[in-house]
Amino acid sequence: MTTDALCDVPLEVRQSYARSRSLRVGPQILAGGSPTGPLAGTSTVVKDLFAIEGHRIGAGNPDWLAAARIESSHAWAVKRWTDAGASVIGIAHSDELAFSLSGTNAHYGTPVNAAAPEHVPGGSSSGSVAAVAAGRVDYALATDTAGSTRVPASYCGTFGVRTTHGRIPMTGVVPLAPFFDTVGVLAATGEALQRAATVLLEPGAGPQATAAPPTEIVLATDLLALADSDTAAAVTAAARGLAEVAGVPVTEATLAGVGTLADWQQLFTVRQMADIWATHGAWVTSRHPNLGPGVTSRMRQAAAADPERARLADVGREMVREKIESTIPPGGMLAFATAAGPAPRIDLPGTAKAELRNRTIAMTCVAGLGGLPAVSLPLTTVAGLPVGVCLVGHPGDDETLLAAATVADRLLAPIRRVKP
């Protein structure tokens, strides 16, 4: 399919995509789906890090796009979805090189957060989440390194899953920090999340696997304490509500304590920065690309990262997994807030944005450092703004998390019925 093959969509739909500012390319058929399969008849958009045959990857930066070659094949995850029946109708905007959590791209603008238009959509999967939140597609392809699927899901009131590190091949995806990078999926409902993500997790694109929901929900009191107090209270109540619907017990536990959490965040940050410089440093120094101010500042930090200290993240991963093993029973899930608070306003001052980002990464880095699966469920609000409940599982417990998302659908059903 050539790049100018148009999708047969009404003008008002194309205009609505333009208003949402979610796509760099589209809406048009970029990759047609198989006529059969679990995703047959559905359409999706993919983050501007995934290769699509006949197109160039932009990675959220015009200089990267200008030098990019036309891809000769799909990324592994894109091919899985098209083989399962999904048609790709858009390339969704990303923060530059996926190196941000806000979604405010200095070159392409900010995709609209349909749940709160004056607030950021979250990044780096900003375009993907904007398309889902606005109802343009039921599910979209994303990535997650430090929270780039989970944080947008929380800010925009959608579902979002970060898969176990290494479980889904990253072939054909522009990397950021390979020690942490994973494929993510954003979706409008838990059922859509389970259906789309299962295609990527299963060996074949046949009927989806069944999985039991969590056997227990463990509230992580130390991680909840990192969030704003009203966010922590709302998430605690929502997690208890989820457990009641699922018919499972709720317990409370301290995962690691303040000091250890701070150590984990430092290990995560040093390794992330070192990996980023190893991945993109040569391009930055040779190309001198035009980067936004926030990415420029963080890239300087990456250039100064100590590769020797970065190796301590291997030990950190084992520490996180040991804590998860001793804190959560088999089949159980750790619960806390996806982000430190609701989506900040687009015009929030830089110092306040940095403080919020730092607290959020202190929470999201647990799954990142541990290579663990995590899901964000849109179960509550604070001051009318969406706030996600994050569940983290043992390595490989992706299907259990997806089953929890379908339980969340049952909890949300009465709310959806009364919406106009």
Q: Which residue numbers are catalytic?
A: 47, 124, 148
Which spans in 134-220 are helix H?
150-156, 190-201
Beta-bridge partner residues of 26: none
User: Which token pair is 5?
Assistant: 């093959």
| Cα separation, 27 vs 279, whole angstroms | 31
- Reported residue count of the chain is 420
User: Which token pair is 382?
Assistant: 């604070």
| Cα separation, 327 vs 222, whole angstroms | 13
201 phi, psi to nearest 5 deg: -85, -30
Alpha carbons within 13 A on the beta-carbon side of 276 = 25
Closest to 184 in 3D by CA, of 147, 237, 210: 147
The set of residues, in sequence order, having a beta carbon less than 8 Å from that of 164 and lying 6+ positions away, is 182, 371, 372, 373, 395, 396, 397, 398
CB 177 within 8 A of CB 145: yes
Distances from the Cα of 271 to the Cα of 171, 265, 305, 306, 340, angstroms:
21, 10, 8, 8, 22
Closest to 354 in 3D by CA, of 79, 48, 101, 166: 101
| Cα separation, 105 vs 147, whole angstroms | 17
Closest to 149 in 3D by CA, of 172, 171, 176: 176
Closest to 55 in 3D by CA, of 4, 126, 21, 8: 4
